[in-house]
Structure 1
Amino acid sequence: MTLRRRVMLAMVALVALFTAIQGSLAVLSMHDQEDDLVDDLVLAETRRLASRVTQDGTDILDDDIHTLLPDDYQAWWVGPDGRAIPAPLPKSLEKLPSGPHIDSAEGGEYHIMIMPVAGGHLFVRYNAARNEDKVQLFALHVFLLALVVIVLAAWIAHYLAGLLIAPLEKVAQLLDHWAPASEPGAISAQDEEQRVLDAFERVQVRWEHGLARERERFADIHHEIRTPLAALRTDLEMLQMLDQRRPGPAAPPGSDAAFGPRLQRAMSTVDAIAGALESMHSLQTGRNASVENVPLSVCVADAWASLGELPTARALTLSNEVDAQACALVDRQALMAILRNLFRNAAEHAAPAILLVRFEDGQILVSDNGPGIPAQDMPFVFERYYRGRLADTSEPRPADSSNEYERGLGLAIARQVAEANGWRLTVGDAHPKGTQFRLSF
C-alpha cells in the first residue's frame, strides 16, 4: 500500500469516526428528547382526565372513554377493592407504583402515567410507536448523511493526500535519478516512503564507498610522500655533516659556502611536512595520536623556523616569551600544525607586525599588533574557504602567497586539529590593537 493511500485512509477513518460519534450523539439526543416530550404529553392528558373523573365520577370512563382520550391513548381507573373501569387492567401495569413509566413488554414502547384519583388510581397509557418510527427515520437520515460525508471526505482526502505526498514524491524521483538502482531492470517500490528509504540507502552505500576510496587514496599519498621525505632528510643530514667537517675558515655570510643554516632550515621544513602529514593522517583515520611532555618554547621556535623566509619577506617579527621550562603533555605534531597555521595567518594578514607568543594559565596566547579582524568577520574566521580580510583588501596579493591560505584553509585546519585533540581554539581582539588567538589544552 502506498503512502498516499495510507494517508488518505487515515484521513477518511478520522472523518468516519468523527461522523459516527456525532451521528450517534444526535440520534441519542433525539431519542431522549422524544421520550421527554411524550412523557409531558401523557402527563398533561392524565391531569386533564383526572380532572374530569373527579368532577363527573368514574362512570364516564365506562361510558365515554373513546371520546375523552386522543388516538393511541388508553385509560383505566382501579378502585381500592381492585375493581377496574372500563376493563381489566393489563398484567404489566398491576404492580407499577404511581408516577411515569416506560413499558416495552408487549412488543412496542408505551409511556405510562399512574396518578391517585377519586380514592383509587388512574392509569393512562400511550402507544409511542409513531414517535419511535420518527426517531428511527431520523437515525436513517443521519446514517445516509454520514455516508455522504464519508464519501465526500474520501474524495477530499485523495486530493489532500496528493498535495501532502507530492514533495516526497519529488524527492523520491530526484533520488531515483541521482542514485538509481544498481541492478539493471530493477523495479522501484511503489510506496513513496520505501522509495525514499531505498534511495537513501543507495546514497549511503555510495558515500561510504567514496569515503573508503578517499581514505585509501590518502593512505597511498601518505606512504608515497613519507619515503622521499625520509630520504631527503637523510641527504640533508649528510650534507650538514660534510659542511661541519670542511676545513678552512668560516665562510662570510651570504656566500655560497654559508649554507649550514640553510641546511638546518631545510631539515626543519622536512620535519614540518612530515609532522603535518602525521597530523592529517590522525585526523583522517580517527586514531588517537601519541602524546608526550613537550617543551612549548621549542615548539614555538620550530614552528616559526618552518615558515622559512616568509616572515622576513612580510616584515613579521617573533617575540617568543614562553618560559623555557614550560611543558605540556600533548601531541607535538598537532601542536606544531596549529602554531604553523597561526603564524602563517599572521604573516599573510597581520604583517608588518610583531607576533607575541606567551603561555599563561594553561593557554598559549598568540597575539599580533596588526590591523586586527573586523567585527563582522570575527565569527567566520574559522570557516573553511572564508577569507574576508584578504578578499576585502584593495592591496595587491603577494606573489609568494600560497593558494591554500588565500582560500581560507589555515585557520579552519587549526580549529579542526584542536577539536580533534580535545583542545579549544578561540579568537579575539588584542590590546591596544591587533588579534589574539587562545589555544587551551
Structure 2
Amino acid sequence: MTLRRRVRVAMVALTALFTIVQGTLAVLAMHEQEDDLVDDLVLAASRHLARGLERSGAEVLGEGRERVLLPEGYEAWWTAADGRTLPDELPPSMRALADGPHLDSAAGGEYHIMVAPAAGGRLFVRYNAARNEAKVRAFAAQVFALGVFFIAMAAWISRYVSGLLVAPLEKVARLLDHWAPASEPGAALPVDEERRVLDAFARVQVRWEQGLARESERFADMHHEIRTPLAALRTDLEMLEGALRRQAEGGAAAAPQAERLRRALAAVDAITGALEAERALHGGRAGAPQRVPLLDCVDDAWASLGELPEARGLSLRNEVDAQAHALVDRQALMAILRNLFRNAAEHAAPAQLRVGYADGRLSVADDGAGIAAEDRAFVFERYYRGRLADSPDSAEAPDAQRAAAPGAGDDYQRGLGLAIARRVAEANGWSLTVEAGQPRGTRFVIALHDAADTAAPPATMS
C-alpha cells in the first residue's frame, strides 16, 4: 500500500471513528432525554388522577360525569384496599409492582408506568411510548445518514489532502533518485513513497561512505608521499648544518647561514608535525600525550614561521619558565601556537607578542590595536573575515612587508588559522578563548586543563 493511500485510509478511519462516536452519543442522549420527559409526563398525569380520586372518588375512572378523560396513550387503574379494581381488571404484569416509576417493554411497545397511593388504595398509570420511540429511531436514522455523508466527504477530501501531505516526500524522492539513481539501469522504482525515499537515502549513504573512504585513502597517500621527501630534506639540512658548524669552528663566519638552516629545519618539522596532527584529527582521535617542555615548544613554533614575524614587525617575548612541562600532544600544541603566532603577524603587527604559562593555562598576548568586542565572538568561525583585524583601521600589511614574505598570509586572510587552532584544541580536550588585552591588544588563552606537569613555580601570566 502506498503512503498516499495509507494517509487517505487513516483520514477516513479517523473521520468515521469520530462520526460514529459522536452519533452514538447523540442518539443515546436523545433516548435518555425522551425517557426522562415521558416519566415526567406520566408523573404529572398520575398526580392529576390522584387529586381527582381524592375529590370525587372512584367515579373519576368510571362512566359517570365525574370521569376524567385521559390523553391518548394513557391508561389508569385504581385498586381499593378490599381488592376491588377500577375500571377493569389490572394487567397481571403490573400487579406485583411497587410504588414508583417503572418501564415495561412488552410486545406492543414500550410502557412507562407510575404506581402511587391514592384515595386509600393504589393508582396505576401506564403510558405507551411507541410514538416517542419511533421519533428516537427517526433521529438515529438521520444521524446515520449524516454520518455516512461526512465519511463520504472525508474520503473525497482525503484524496486532495493526502496529495498535499505526500507531495514534499515525493519531491525529495525524485531529487534523491536524480542524485543517487538506482545501480541497475531501468530498475523499477518502489511504488511506496516511503520505501522509495528510504532506498534513495540508503544509496546516498553508501556513496557518502565510499567518498569518505576515498578521501581517507587520498589523505594517507598524500601523507606518505610528502613525508618521504621531507625526511630526505631534513637529513640534507642537518648535514649542511653540521658542515656549517664545522666551518664556523674553523673560524669562518657562518652565523647567518646557520640561522637560516635552523629556521628551515624548524619549518620542515612544522610541516611534518602539521601532517601528523591533521592525520590524528582526520581519524577522530587525539595524539598520544608526552611530557613536553613548553619553553621549547614556543621557541620552535616561532622559528617555524621563518622571516614572516620580522618582516611584519612582530617580536616575541617568551616568559614561559624553563622548568614548565605539560603532558600534551606536542604536535597539536605546536599547531595551535603556529596559528596564533601567524595570526598575530598578519593582523596585530607591528607589535610585541608575550607568551606566559601558569596553572595549566598558556597565554598568547599582543599589544596591537585589538579586536572589536562585536567581532571577538566570531573570530574562531571558518572563513570569517568581517572586521577581523588586529591592526588600526583593518589595514593590510604594507607592500614592503608583503614583498618580504610573499604569499605568507594568503590562506590566513581567508579566516582559517584561528578556526584550525580551535578545532585542534577541542580535539585534544583543551579550550581556546580570546579576550581583550590589558591595557590594549588581544589575548588568547589555551587551557590545557589536567595536562599540567610543572616541576617549578609557574611564571606569571601576562
Q: Say whether 1:376 aligns with 2:374.
A: yes
- Structure 1 window deviating more from structure 2 (392-401 vs 146-155): it is 392-401
Q: CA deviation at 1:11?
A: 2.9
SS where residue 376 of structure 1 aligns? helix
1:306 maps to a residue whose letter is: S
Displacement after TM superposition at 1:321 (Å)? 0.6
Q: Deviations over 1:134-180 (max 9, x none)?
A: 11111111111111122222333333333233222222222222222
Tell me whether 267-276 or 238-247 shows the greater mean CA deviation: 238-247
Structure 2, unmatched stretches of 5+, are 449-462
1:404 aligns with 411
Aligned to 1:290: 288
How far does residue 242 in structure 1 lie from its aligned partner after superposition?
2.1
Contact 1:426 1:439 in 2 (8 A): yes
* Counterpart Cα distance in 2 of 1:331 and 1:196: 45
The aligned runs of 1:242-321 (5 Å cut-off) are 242-246=243-247, 248-251=250-253, 258-321=256-319
Give the deviation of 1:102 after TM superposition: 1.1
Match of 2:5 in 1: 5
1:332 matched to 2:330? The reply is yes
Code of the residue aligned with 1:279 in structure 2: it is A
Which of 409, 413, 433 in structure 1 is aligned with 2:420? 413
Question: Does residue 1:165 correspond to 2:166, yes or no?
Answer: yes
Q: Give the whole-Å Cα distance in 2 for the aligned partners of 1:269 and 1:53.
A: 125
Q: Report what 1:93 is aligned to.
A: 94
- Higher mean displacement: 103-112 or 153-162: 153-162
Q: Deviations over 1:308-363 (max 9, x none)?
A: 11111101000001111111010111111111111011111111000000002211
Within 1, Cα distance between the matches of 2:135 and 2:274? 92
Question: After superposition, what is the alpha-carbon deviation per residue over 1:288-313, rounded to whole angstroms, capped at 9, x for unaligned?
Answer: 41211111011100110111111111
| TM-aligned CA distance change 1:162 to 1:66, over 3 Å | farther
User: Which whole-Å deviations, capped at 9, do the CAs of 1:252-286 have from their partners, x for residues lacking one?
Assistant: 76xxxx52222222111111111111111111122
Moved more, 167-176 or 263-272: 167-176
Distance 1:283 1:60 in 2: 108
Conserved? CA contact 1:429–1:435, under 8 Å: yes
Q: Is the 8 A contact 1:49 1:68 kept in 2?
A: no
Letter in 2 for 1:249: G
Within a 5 Å distance, the mapping from 1:134-173 to structure 2 comes to 134-173=135-174
Q: Write the distance in 2 (CA, Å) between the matches of 1:250 and 1:263.
A: 16
In 1: Cα distance, 2:102 partner to 2:246 partner: 130
Q: C-alpha distance in 2, partners of 1:263/1:47?
A: 125
In structure 1, how many angstroms separate the alpha carbons of the residues matched to 2:274 and 2:54? 119
- The answer to whether the aligner puts 1:435 opposite 2:442 as a matched pair is yes
Residues 285, 427 of structure 2: 8 Å contact kept: no
Q: Distance in 2 between matches of 1:309 and 1:2?
A: 68
If the length of structure 2 is used for normalisation, what is the TM-score?
0.89
CA distance in 2, matches of 1:214, 1:353: 41
SS at match of 1:58: helix
- How many residues of Structure 1 are paired with residues of Structure 2 in the alignment? 437
Residue 192 of structure 1 deviates from its aligned partner by 2.7
Contact 2:362/2:445, CA 8 A, preserved across alignment: yes
Q: Which residue of 2 aligns with 1:46?
A: 46
Distance 1:92 1:419 in 2: 92
Equivalents in 2 of 1:322, 1:88: separation in Å?
A: 122
Residues 92 and 309 of structure 1, relative CA distance in 2, 3 Å threshold: same
Residue 59 of structure 1 and its aligned partner are, at CA, apart by 4.5
Is the alpha carbon distance of 1:109 and 1:407 closer, same or farther for their aligned partners in structure 2, counting shifts above 3 Å? same
Q: Following the alignment from structure 1 to structure 2, what is the Cα–Cα distance between the partners of residues 291 and 75?
A: 106
CA distance in 1, matches of 2:139, 2:288: 85
Contact 1:349–1:389, Cα closer than 8 Å, also in 2: no
2:429 aligns with 422
Tell me how far apart the structure 2 counterparts of residues 383 and 129 of structure 1 sit (CA, whole Å).
84
Q: Which amino acid is 1:49 matched to?
A: L
Residue equivalent to 2:456: none
The corresponding residue for 1:237 is: 238
